[in-house]
């Protein structure tokens, strides 16, 4: 797929495992379930990592978009 | 439920116990009563935790959306 | 009352005593007189606390919404 | 007067002496001449205080709203 | 002149010498040539001061509004 | 090409290798696939550098626009 | 030219050499090719300076507007 718009790339990752990194240095991995134009994002089976170590398992996770730096396939 | 949009996931958590984490490191648990598109959020029976320790019981709590990082089921 | 929207919860607190906490760590208590969609807030009989100690009595106080973290009944 | 909206409280303070405190810790006192919905504010006969000491007399002073934390009668 | 709106006060200062202070602590003096609703501002014959010392002469200077704290007659 | 608008310059770089630098000091190189008016950006074959050293290969990478400082041909 | 609006001043600098200074302290010089209302800016033949020393030559450079403090003729 050749995404014309950035949200097309997120759409292609829907229901797949992604890494989300936040401005505070935390990293969440999980299945990308939903996102919107603010990049508010919902992950399923989310795991939190701080400096590479799993610190919590969170199940469903809502992340406010303005705290996100990058989203990438896991 | 398979949320198409992030706010659908918050809606599914309405009247359930959630954890809300803020940019300043504080954590609030309580029953999710209300939220809006800015992610302004109202919890009932809210408890504040700083580094895992309960520091205050706050009853009804309004949290301004732009201070929120994540919301997750408790 | 079961607030459908976050501002309903603030409306229920109008003319009652509330605690307002700011991003800079200050805390104001007073009677909630007014607020708007930006969460700009006006308190009457406002008292400022820094680390729990009353530092000033301010009478009527306008607080710019984007500096507010939480609002809760006092 | 019982302000229904926060800007009503500022309007009631027009042509009166107010204290304006900024995110950088500075404090300005002066006569409130004008404000808008962004809380951009103009004071007359403005004096700047840093940690309670008068540091400058500024005459007319335009303050950009997003730097303001609180406005209160002086 | 009694400005009803904050930008009226800036308009009254057009073609006069003003001081503009930024969030990063720098101070620019110059002739106010233009501004807009974001408080983007253009000075002519601008001089930069850091801690009161002239550090540069800049001629025409465009300042992005969101970096500005105050504007006052020089 | 003489870009009349900044996004014309990004458009001219589409499908070419670019460097994207973020507010947190990280640098990403990759093929520019998509961007929007918020400067949300998608790179393909993305590599992350911290202080010049490659730290990760990320494949497709979504970068939230408000974290970006500059974009330049690699 | 007497700019009525700040962007008129930028327009007068189009195709001329300018200095752009960012919130992170970096300075870019180059030929101003494009800008928009967010002050997103494109320079040609851009050079990066950190504390006055040229650190990189970047060719075409897109700068996100919200990172910019000032733009001035070089």
- The model's confidence at residue G2, banded by pLDDT at 50, 70 and 90, is low
Q: What is the mean pLDDT of residues F20-32?
A: 96
Instruction: Enumerate the residues of chain B whose CB falls inside 8 A of the CB of residue C70.
Output: 28, 58, 61-64, 67
Give G16-48 pLDDT, tens digit per residue: 999 999 999 999 999 999 999 999 999 999 999
Helices marked H in chain C — which ranges? 6-12
Q: Strand, coil or helix: what is F37?
A: coil
Q: How far apart are CA A67 and CA G29, in angstroms?
A: 31
Rg of chain F (C-alpha set): 12
Q: What is the mean pLDDT of residues G63-69?
A: 98
How do the domains of chain C map onto residue ranges? Answer: 6-73
| pLDDT < 70 stretches in chain A | 1-3
Instruction: Enumerate the residues of chain A whose CB falls inside 8 A of the CB of residue F24.
Output: 23, 69
CB B1 within 8 A of CB B12: yes
CB B24 within 8 A of CB C23: yes
- From chain F, which residues contact G within 8 Å (Cβ)? 2-10, 13, 23, 39, 65-66, 68-73
Q: How close G57 comes to chain E (CA, Å)?
A: 23
Residues 6+ apart with CB under 8 A from C23: B24, B67, C67, C68, C69
Nearest CB neighbour to C6, from listed B36, B58, B59: B36
* Closest residue in E to D58 (Cα–Cα): E72
Q: Do chains F and A touch (3 or more CB pairs under 8 A)?
A: yes
Q: How far apart are CA G68 and CA G62, in angstroms?
A: 12
Structure ipTM: 0.94
Structure-token match 């897109």, residue found = G62
Nearest CB neighbour to D6, from listed C28, C42, C66: C42
Architecture, CATH, for domain F6-73? Roll (2.30)
Which of D70, D71, D73, D74 to probe the C interface (max C CBs under 10 A)? D70
Q: How far apart are CA F51 and CA F30, in angstroms?
A: 17
Q: What angle do CA E53, G66, A49 make, to 5 degrees?
A: 110
Rg of chain B (C-alpha set): 12
Q: How far apart are CA D65 and CA B35, in angstroms?
A: 26
Phi, psi of C67, deg, nearest 5: -95, -5
Would you state the pLDDT for residue C45? 97
Structure tokens at A38: 């603010």
Q: Strand, coil or helix: what is E8?
A: helix
pTM: 0.95
Q: How close F39 comes to chain A (CA, Å)?
A: 9
Would you state the pLDDT for residue B51? 86
| pLDDT < 50 stretches in chain D | none
Q: Inter-chain contact C41–D3, Cβ cutoff 8 Å?
A: no
* Closest residue in G to F4 (Cα–Cα): G34
Give D22-35 pLDDT, tens digit per residue: 999 999 999 999 99
CB < 8 Å & 24+ apart, contacts of G21-28: G21/G68, G21/G69, G21/G70, G21/G71, G22/F69, G22/G63, G22/G67, G22/G68, G22/G69, G23/E24, G23/E67, G23/G67, G23/G68, G23/G69, G24/F23, G24/F69, G24/G67, G25/G50, G25/G51, G26/G50, G28/F70, G28/G58, G28/G61, G28/G63
Would you state the pLDDT for residue D52? 85
Would you state the pLDDT for residue B2? 60
């Amino acid at each position: 797929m050749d995404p014309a718009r950035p949200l097309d790339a997120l759409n292609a990752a829907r229901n797949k495992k992604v890494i989300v990194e936040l401005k505070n240095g935390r990293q969440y991995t999980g299945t990308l379930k939903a996102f919107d134009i603010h990049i508010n994002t919902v992950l399923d089976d989310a795991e939190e990592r701080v400096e590479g170590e799993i610190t919590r398992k969170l199940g469903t996770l809502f992340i406010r978009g303005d705290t996100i730096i990058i989203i990438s396939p896991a």
